[in-house]
């Protein structure tokens, strides 16, 4: 089975109108393509939640601060479409840049609070770009449900806040991070890692899980965070941008894990920036 590809909002809306007329429930899975098992797990989750599943594929220039990162972002639409067919996804919405941002486009959706700090501090404008494109995708599809990965934990919070604040009637579902057998979180950027970097890469998740276990009972997070940062660099990462303990429900900074929490990190491995997050909770919950 092959998935139908639609490139215009007009065609998207007419397809969706026919589904709506039959009373069908619609889910959307926003992606930038280069689909891996993590994305496919989101599609499978969406298939269980709705009658129709739309996967969107748009490499959104407005969320890239770095022109090289945008230019080298993997673009694999044919392979992506081939992966979606067997899962039974109903539509791949892959608009071009002028369809999404026609001449004169002048609106930005900006979410304060949860988009500040963490990645927001190191990627200025990134979450404005995400919130703007995701708002458009929600309005274009009119979906009942949207499925996102917890790998981008801060993004999930930004999207939830945006939908709530703008009264967009959509349920946001977060799905657990999918990992390689050695623990490395799946990411479209992993293909950029050299063989040597690929060997080092899983140490980030390993060190974070170890720190998360210690944080459960620690009276102060800071020494554990400092020790973990040093361990990440000693493992071969070039730089740790941040490693922070935040509340799971609203991302507020925590001095100790005295409420359900996440440990979140971004670190550079050579020229590749990797992010990850782990739950800080009772054994088995990570």
Q: What's the first-to-final CA gap in the chain, in angstroms?
A: 36
Phi, psi (5° rounding) for residue 246?
Answer: -130, 155
Q: Where are the alpha helices (DSSP H) in 142-177?
A: 153-165
Contact call for residues 42 and 28 (beta carbons, < 8 A) = no
Q: Is 29 in the site for ligand PAF (CB under 6 A)?
A: no
Report the C-alpha gap between 21 and 113 in whole angstroms.
39
- Give me the residue label for tokens 């969406």: 46
Enter the tokens of residue 234. 């000693």
Question: Would you call 39 a catalytic residue per the annotation?
Answer: yes
- For the segment 106-165, give every residue that binds ligand PAF (CB under 6 A): 130, 133-134, 152, 155
Q: Of the two residues 15 and 187, which places its CB atom closer to ligand PAF in the complex?
A: 187
Report the C-alpha gap between 141 and 197 in whole angstroms.
39
List 3, 6, 31, 44, residue binding ligand PAF (CB under 6 A): 31
Q: Of the two residues 15 and 31, which places its CB atom closer to ligand PAF in the complex?
A: 31
Three-state SS string over 197-220 comes to HHHHCCHHHHHHHHHHHHHHHCCC
Question: Binding-site residue total for ligand PAF (CB under 6 A)?
Answer: 10
Q: How far is the CB of 234 from ligand PAF (least distance, A)?
A: 30
Q: How far is the CB of 76 from ligand PAF (least distance, A)?
A: 14
Q: Which helix (H) or strand (E) holds 52?
A: strand 52-57
Q: How far is the CB of 137 from ligand PAF (least distance, A)?
A: 8
Interacting span for ligand PAF (CB under 6 A) from 24-32, 91-99, 169-177, 243-251: 24-32
- CA-closest candidate to residue 242, choices 116, 130, 110: 116
Q: Of the two residues 39 and 203, which places its CB atom closer to ligand PAF in the complex?
A: 39
Contact call for residues 177 and 37 (beta carbons, < 8 A) = no
The interface mask with ligand PAF, positions 172-211, x = CB under 6 A, is ----------------------------------------
Q: How far is the CB of 259 from ligand PAF (least distance, A)?
A: 26
Q: Of the two residues 31 and 190, which places its CB atom closer to ligand PAF in the complex?
A: 31
The interface mask with ligand PAF, positions 34-73, x = CB under 6 A, is --------------------------x--x----------
- For the segment 227-246, give every residue that binds ligand PAF (CB under 6 A): none
Question: Mapping DSSP to helix (H, G, I), strand (E, B) and coil, where does residue 32 land?
Answer: coil
Report the C-alpha gap between 188 and 239 in whole angstroms.
20
Minimal CB distance to ligand PAF: which residue?
Answer: 30
Q: Of the two residues 100 and 215, which places its CB atom closer to ligand PAF in the complex?
A: 100
Which of 39, 90, 126, 157 is flagged as catalytic?
39
- Strands ordered across the beta sheet of 91-93: 4-6, 91-93, 52-57, 26-31, 145-149, 171-175
Which residues have a Cβ under 8 Å from the Cβ of 164 and sit 6 or more positions away?
A: none
Q: Of the two residues 172 and 231, which places its CB atom closer to ligand PAF in the complex?
A: 172
List 3, 6, 27, 32, residue binding ligand PAF (CB under 6 A): 32
Report the C-alpha gap between 141 and 81 in whole angstroms.
19
Which residues are the active-site residues?
A: 39
- Give the footprint of ligand PAF on this chain (CB under 6 A): 30-32, 60, 63, 130, 133-134, 152, 155
């Amino acid at each position: 089975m092959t998935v139908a590809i639609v490139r215009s909002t007009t065609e998207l809306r007419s397809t969706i109108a026919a589904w709506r007329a039959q009373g069908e429930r619609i889910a959307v899975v926003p992606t930038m393509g280069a689909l891996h098992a993590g994305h496919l797990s989101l599609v499978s989750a969406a298939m269980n939640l709705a009658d129709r599943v739309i996967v969107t594929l748009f490499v959104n220039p407005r969320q890239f601060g770095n022109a090289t990162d945008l230019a080298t972002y993997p673009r694999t639409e044919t392979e992506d479409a081939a992966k979606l067919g067997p899962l039974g996804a109903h539509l791949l919405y892959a608009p071009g840049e002028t369809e999404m941002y026609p001449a004169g486009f002048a609106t930005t959706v900006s979410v304060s609070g949860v988009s500040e700090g963490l990645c927001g501090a190191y990627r200025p404008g990134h979450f404005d770009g995400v919130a703007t494109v995701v708002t458009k995708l929600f309005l274009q599809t009119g979906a009942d449900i949207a499925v996102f990965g917890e790998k981008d934990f801060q993004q999930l919070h930004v999207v939830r806040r945006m939908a709530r604040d703008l009264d967009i009637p959509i349920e946001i579902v977060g799905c657990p991070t999918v990992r390689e057998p050695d623990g490395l979180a799946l990411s479209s950027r992993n293909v950029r890692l050299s063989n040597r970097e690929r060997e080092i890469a899983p140490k980030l998740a390993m060190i974070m899980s170890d720190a998360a276990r210690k944080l459960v009972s620690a009276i102060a997070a800071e020494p554990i965070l400092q020790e973990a940062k040093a361990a990440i660099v000693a493992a071969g990462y070039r730089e740790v941008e941040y490693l922070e303990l935040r509340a799971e429900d609203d991302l507020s900074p925590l001095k100790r894990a005295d409420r359900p929490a996440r440990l979140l990190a971004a670190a550079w491995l050579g020229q590749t920036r990797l992010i990850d997050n782990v739950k800080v909770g009772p054994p088995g919950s990570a």
